[in-house]
Chains A and B, each alone.
Chain A
C-alpha cells in the first residue's frame, strides 16, 4: 500500500518570502500522480498543483512550484512571494495511474502541514 508522509506539522513564513513544504511517499508503482491540496479555514479542498510521475519537468502554477525527485520519492512544494491568503493546511496526496489497476481512483493523503503567513 502507498503511504504519504509530511514531516512538518507546522511551518511559518514572512509575507513576500519563500517557503518549502516537504512530502515523501512510498510506492512500488512507476506510474502515478502527485498532488498538493490547500485547505483554508473554510475547509474547502483546493487543488494547488499536480505532477505526473512520468514527466521529468517539475510542475509550476504561478507562485507555486514543486521539486519532484522520483528516485528519492520526494515531492516538495515551494511557495514564492508568500501572501496572507496562502495561510492554510497543505496536504500532499498520491494517486496511482496504473491502467486497469484496482485503486487508481483513490487519493492517499499525508497528515498535512499547517502554514502560517506572518505580515
Chain B
C-alpha cells in the first residue's frame, strides 16, 4: 500500500507564475489536509478537503491560493501569481476518516525566484 504521494518534490517558479502541487492520498483515504512549513517553523494547517468538498479552508490565504480534491484524481493545491514569500515546503496528509491517524507525504519544496 503506497503512502501519500506528492509531486513534484521540488518546484521552482518565477514571481508571477502559477504553482500546482499534487497529492495522491493513501488508498482508501478520502480525507486530505494541506500544511505549509515556512523556514525555521513548524507546519501550519491550510485546508481540509473530502472528495469534491472543501471542509475547512481557514488556514488558506484569502487570495491566490485554492485547493480541490476532485472525484477522480489527486488533490491539487494551486498558487497563482506566486511571490517570494510563498517559498516553503507544502505537505499533504490523508486519513481514512475523521479523527483517525493522518499520514504525511514527503512534501513539495516550492522556491520562488
Contacts and interface: CB of A to CB of B under 8 A. Distances in A.
B46 to A, nearest CB: 10
Contact of A105 (B40, B43, B48, B104): B48
A93 B45 CA distance: 12
Contacts of A37: 104
Interface residues of A, number: 22
Given A43-B89, A105-B48, A97 B99 contact: yes
A109 B33 CA distance: 14
Contacts of A43: 89, 106-107, 109
Contact of B42 (A42, A50, A106, A111): A111
Interface in B89-113: 89, 91, 93, 95, 98-99, 101-104, 106-107, 109
A18 to B, nearest CB: 24
Interface in A89-111: 91, 93, 97, 103-111
Contacts of A107: 33, 35, 43, 45, 102
Contacts of B98: 104-105
A110 B43 CA distance: 8
Contacts of B95: 105
Contact of A106 (B48, B91, B103, B104): B48
Contacts of A45: 43, 91, 93, 104, 107
Interface in A73-119: 91, 93, 97, 103-112
A28 interface: no
A105 B41 contact: no
Nearest to B108: A43
Nearest to A43: B107
Contacts of A16: none
Given A105-B31, A108-B45, A111-B41, 5 more contacts: A37-B104, A45-B107, A105-B56, A105-B99, A112-B41
Interface of B: 31, 33, 35, 40-45, 48, 56, 59, 89, 91, 93, 95, 98-99, 101-104, 106-107, 109
